[in-house]
Structure 1
Amino acid sequence: MEEKVYDVAVLGGGPAGIAAALSSARSGARTILVERYGFLGGMSTAAMVYPWMTFHSAVGEHVIKGIAQEIVDRLMALGASPGHLRDTIGFTHTLTPYHPEVYKVLAFEMLEEAGVELLLHTSIIDVQTDQAGERIDRVQVYNKSGTSYLQAKAYVDATGDGDVAYMAGAPWEQGNDTHNVQPMTMKFRMKGVDLQKVKQYMQENPSQFYHKSLIAKLDHLPLTGVMGFYDKWNAADLPIQREGVLFFSGPHEDEVLINVSRVSGLDPTHIEDLTKAEIEGRKQVLQLESFFQQHIPGFEKAVVAAVGSQIGVRETRRIIGHYVLNGLDVLDARRFEDVIARSGYPIDIHNPEGKGVTANFIREGGAYDIPYRSIVPLKISNLLLAGRCISTTHEAQATTRLTPSCMAIGQAAGIAAALTVKHHCNAIDVPITELQQRLIEGKAVLY
């Protein structure tokens, strides 16, 4: 079997993996990005997680920039994003619509510009470590050409589920106190929606919507998101464990992204459960299409236009690192000396056991730090973590899992991986001041 050797191998091509590969290559490391689908974008494209939330704190401070903002700027230049808009639900300060098909192509272009080698339709099937089990020697991959090995000096696990760290033997945990994870959601788009009719109903029935909704400002703001229609949802009594309707407008004028389906009680890391979730999620899409057409003003002529290539997954393995970020760290807006990213998204836990969402907001509308130690796993010395699998508690993961946060984490992980090669050191021994300086030079916000 053919074996290739790189400085850095980024495994997983979602938002975190894209940012990691870009920052690694821009740092001078020979970098490869491996992705199981025939396109990039991870949950943003495969599962239609839309829009991106959020680049700002609750009081409007722009806390995520760097590669994440560069992507938004380039999408705006292509007419594929309006940039950061006010969240008319009022849950966050802003949200960022984008066109997923343009994002897929832009990611290819940016990686090519940076000199990243790309391998699509390729799955990681095994990880081989040294005799002590403390360092990854190589990973085995499978694709249409058969099986082969990739060897790198440093690796970034951007698989979302922590697959690489798991196969390498890194310690991990999952879920809440009973090991149950947040539910999965099959997202889908409907087109032919009359958003003016939706807006009119909201203005006439404000009590039927989320209490922070910016209904009084809808004459001056574009309608970006809707949470509510509580009366109509309750009257329909669908067998879906939600409390109301949630959707976001765009990317086209008559389109919305529906985030209502919920599949609970299953483990996305167990293939039998994931299979059940895919089947149940698609059944729910058809139920919901009928519900919207029959009950929600403005959807009378709307139809399903697209469904996710896979069900959306909020939570699986959390790899245990040198620091486990916790809920109090988030809510207290804690600062860390080894900060590598910041986020202003609240703790947003979809009940693993049934109905309900627990939302806890950061003190004084601020932002919290994500420390470098939380992206360095225990035991495996040449591995970095990027995305929703980093070292957190169940509560803290409910904010770090959001896409802009994952992008910011990915940028840091890619630079750190390149620095391990430059300094011939273990991941935990990367000079933190040099890493932070590189991030600042890349226009990330750390302070």
Structure 2
Amino acid sequence: MTTVHDDTEILIVGAGLGGVAAALAAARQGARVVLTEEFDWIGGQSTSQAVPPDEHPWIEDFGCTRSYRAFRDGIRDYYRRAYPLTDAARARTDLNPGAGWVSKLCHEPKVALAVLEELLAPYTAGGQVRLYTGLRPTGASAQDQVVSAVELTDVRTGDKRTIRAQFVVDATETGELLPLAGIDYVTGFESRTETGEPSAPEQAQPENVQALSICFAVEHQARADHTIDKPEQYEKWRQVQPEFWGGPLVSWTAPHPRTLQITHRVFEPNPGDDALAVDADQSKDPGDTNLWTFRRILARDLHTPGAFSSDVTLVNWPSIDYFEAPVLDVPPEVAEQRLADAKQLSLSMLYWMQTEAPRPDGGRGWPGLRLRPDLMGTEDGLAMAPYHREGRRIRALETITEQDVSPAARGEDTARRYPDSVGVGMYRIDLHPSTGGDNYIDVPAAPFQIPLGALIPRGGGNLIAGAKNIGTTHITNGCYRLHPVEWNIGEAAGALAATCLRQGSTPAAVHADPAAVSAFQELLVADGVELDWPEGVYPY
């Protein structure tokens, strides 16, 4: 085992959407950046976790940063350049490659990966941004919340790399740097006494976190048999029936996220629907009646006849939500076993679909369902990384609560306005079943802003939160955790680090000075960041 020492101006740990956006923003300001990622693929939610974008209804026109729009446009351009689209599909400015109902831009993970690498290429080619994959943070040198160096371990070889930096952005999926650097943080539910939130419990529940999921993609070949070996834990998961579920977990049955009424969905591969007619706007239609088309990521009918024998759909459904136990702040071997259990749940769902699932024609099972490991970048066909909906969150200078974004709690249709806004976002407060035994929590939210203070730990220092680890609560994490919001958070974090580097300042000092905040906001606006919503945009 060897140890390599490295130096940079800004270290960004975690190359999910927030981390990539942070690197791009810092590099545009001329900073030298090291960007690290535990998994082989950068991109987090959009790639290694394989989750199609969760976005608001106005995303095609406003409500995201210019660089996020470049990412979205790049995905469509990739399909137009590289795929045998029909003339009608190619001509669509709002091309939805998968014609899925969950998003206006359902796409394959590897396409998002290619686009992200292309966005970084001008900076990685010249060495301004150095990208290292396969590195997991395992230690940090810190005093009084000033992080001088981070130790990372190669997940393949065990070799160590210690990176010294003037500023550090934690853009990991679960806030991995926070305990390593001694940064105060919170997990799970805060108490109602602490936050005043109507949806919070009376007592804090730090181990009560949202379900994680191990996603996978499948196609269907009608006359083939691709049935996998029976998973080791199949009998266990086949018998699990949460009290509030209305049936077995492994089934087409689940509570409706908004009404909690027991809902029975259907599954019909390759239904021959009009892919160009899909209107992926969940404010009008959730679109999850047929699970095949809900998160479809490749629609064969958008391509020339014969190019693809099947659609491809992404399985990220309630039936694979792992909420048996948390994986945060437990011994590594315990977390590893629980993630293995989550994989077994996903494989059990697939096996059930292949062998037992009721079909519309009265039969049982679709043995022609085939995993697509080539699209996941893995050997087993499951997503490279778990989809963590919730991780550790900093104790921030500004904590966003339910009363800041919920019209019901506020008594008005608009969210709280922040004088230190560094971006915008919009999504309902959407909390999946959790490790504490809670059912879905779904609360309408108003179009909101991202306050600068939510990115900065209370104790100051040189670490900036750059992903889902900002100062939200368990409740508001449910609307600040989505793709364009994470990107905007990361972009603001990278720009803040570069600004502090250039000015010889600190994040807390910038936040404390209204003139400095205003100047920083002017920089963000010039770089294509929207700080507020247009008039007349209301909750859905």
User: How would you bin the TM-score normalised by the shorter chain?
Assistant: 0.7 to 0.9
Query: Given the alignment of the two structures, is residue 175 of structure 1 paired with residue 188 of structure 2, yes or no?
Result: yes
- Taking the aligned partners of 1:380 and 1:86, their CA distance within structure 2 comes to 44
Gaps of 5+ in 1: 195-206, 211-216, 230-243
Aligned with residue 521 of structure 2, among 436, 440, 447 = 436
Distance 1:140 1:83, change over 3 A: farther
The one-letter code sitting in structure 2 at the alignment partner of 1:142 is: T
Cα distance change of structure 1 residues 296 and 15 upon mapping to structure 2, 3 Å threshold: farther
The answer on 1:23 being equivalent to 2:25 is yes
Q: Is the contact between residue 347 and residue 396 of structure 1 (CA under 8 Å) also seen in structure 2?
A: yes
**Aligned pair 1:187/2:202, yes or no?**
no
State the percentage of identical aligned residues: 22
Instruction: Please say if residues 98 and 107 of structure 2, whose CA atoms lie closer than 8 Å, have aligned partners that are also in contact.
Output: no
Aligned residue identity for 1:267:
P
SS at match of 1:279: helix
The structure 2 residue matched to 1:262, chosen from 293, 304, 321, is: 321
Correspondence for 1:222: 278
CA distance in 2, matches of 1:249, 1:15: 21
- Check the 8 A contact 1:55/1:62 in 2, yes or no: no
| Cα distance between partner residues in 1 of 2:122 and 2:22 | 14
> How far 1:221 moved relative to its partner?
2.4
Does 2:73 match 1:73?
Answer: yes
Question: For 2:342, which of 281, 284, 306 is the aligned residue?
Answer: 281
Q: CA deviation at 1:34?
A: 1.1
1:339–1:280: structure 2 CA closer, same or farther, 3 Å change rule?
A: same
How far did residue 63 of structure 1 move? 0.8
3-state SS, counterpart of residue 213 of structure 2 = coil
Distance 1:96 1:373, change over 3 A: same
Deviations 1:322-377 (A, max 9, x none): 011111212242211111121111100112134732211124xxx10110000011
Distance 1:327 1:30 in 2: 38
The 1:220/1:97 distance shift into structure 2, 3 A limit, reads closer
Q: How does 1:77-92 map to 2 (within 5 A)?
A: 77-79=77-79
Structure with max Cα Rg: 2
2-side partners of 1:343 and 1:273: how far apart? 35
Which of 114, 119, 125 is matched with 1:110 structurally? 119
Distance 2:72 2:53 in 1: 10
The answer on whether the counterparts of 2:97 and 2:299 sit within 8 Å (CA) in structure 1 is: no
Q: Tell me the residue number matched to 1:412.
A: 492
Question: Aligned partners of 2:44 and 2:209: how far apart in 1?
Answer: 19
Deviations 1:144-192 (A, max 9, x none): 4832321111110001211212211111111123221011112111102
Deviations 1:178-211 (A, max 9, x none): 22101111211110289xxxxxxxxxxxx9569x
Which digits, 9 at most, give the CA deviation of each residue in 1:227-246, with x for residues without a partner?
A: 246xxxxxxxxxxxxxx999
Please say if residues 321 and 375 of structure 1, whose CA atoms lie closer than 8 Å, have aligned partners that are also in contact. Answer: yes
Partner Cα distance (2:440, 2:104) in 1: 19
Q: Using the alignment, how far apart are the partners of 2:399 and 2:96 within structure 1?
A: 32
1:88, CA displacement in angstroms?
9.4
What is the match of residue 234 of structure 1?
Answer: none
Matches for 1:46-61 after TM superposition, within 5 Å: 46-49=48-51, 51-56=52-57
- Matched-pair contact (CA < 8 Å) for 2:76–2:97: no
CA displacement at 1:134 relative to structure 2: 3.1
Paired position in structure 1 for 2:270: none
TM, length-normalised to structure 2: 0.69
Kindly indicate whether the alpha-carbon contact (under 8 Å) linking 2:15 and 2:43 is maintained by their aligned counterparts in 1.
yes
Question: What is the rounded CA distance, in whole Å, between the counterparts of 1:317 and 1:166 in structure 2?
Answer: 9
CA distance in 2, matches of 1:101, 1:446: 31
* Counterpart position of 1:213: none
Q: Which residue of structure 1 lines up, in the alignment, with residue 153 of structure 2? A: 142
1:80-128, Cα deviation, whole Å (9 max, x unpaired): 79857599998x8x54212211222332232231331111222222111
RMSD after superposition: 3.0
Q: Deviations over 1:59-79 (max 9, x none)?
A: x86211322111111111111
2:297 to 241, 250, 253: 250
Q: Distance in 1 between matches of 2:221 and 2:393?
A: 39
Moved more, 106-115 or 34-43: 106-115
Deviation at residue 55 of structure 1 after TM alignment: 4.7
CA distance in 2, matches of 1:54, 1:106: 18
1:329 has 2:331 as partner: no
Say whether the 8 Å CA contact 1:193–1:255 is kept in structure 2: no
Letter matched to residue 276 of structure 1: Q
Range that drifts further, 118-127 or 6-15? 118-127
Q: Does 1:96 align with 2:153?
A: no
- CA deviations on 1:207-261 (whole Å, 9 max, x unpaired) are 9569xxxxxx9797227674246xxxxxxxxxxxxxx999411134311111120
Query: Are the structure 2 counterparts of residues 110 and 274 from structure 1 closer, same or farther at C-alpha, using a change threshold of 3 Å?
Result: same
C-alpha contact (below 8 Å) 2:39/2:134 kept by paired residues: yes
The DSSP-based 3-state class of the residue aligned with 1:62 is: coil
Letter in 1 for 2:432: H
CA contact (8 A) 1:324 1:392 kept: yes
How far does the alpha carbon of each residue in 1:383-418 deviate from its partner, in whole angstroms, 9 at most, with x for none?
110111111111001111112110111110000000
How many Å separate the matches in 2 of 1:88 and 1:415? 35
Query: One-letter code of the match for 1:251?
Result: L
Partner residue of 1:309 out of 384, 394, 397: 384
Contact 1:16 1:386 in 2 (8 A): yes
Name which of 396, 401, 425 aligns with 2:481. Answer: 401
What is the DSSP-based 3-state SS (H/G/I as helix, E as strand, rest coil) of the residue aligned with 1:78?
helix
Q: Is the 8 A contact 2:48 2:109 kept in 1?
A: no
Shift of 1:45: 2.0
Q: CA deviation at 1:285?
A: 2.5
Q: 2: distance between equivalents of 1:95 and 1:255?
A: 16
2:463 pairs, out of 383, 400, 403, with: 383
Q: 1:35-50 alignment to 2 at 5 Å?
A: 35-49=37-51
Cα contact 1:247–1:259 (8 A) shared by 2: no
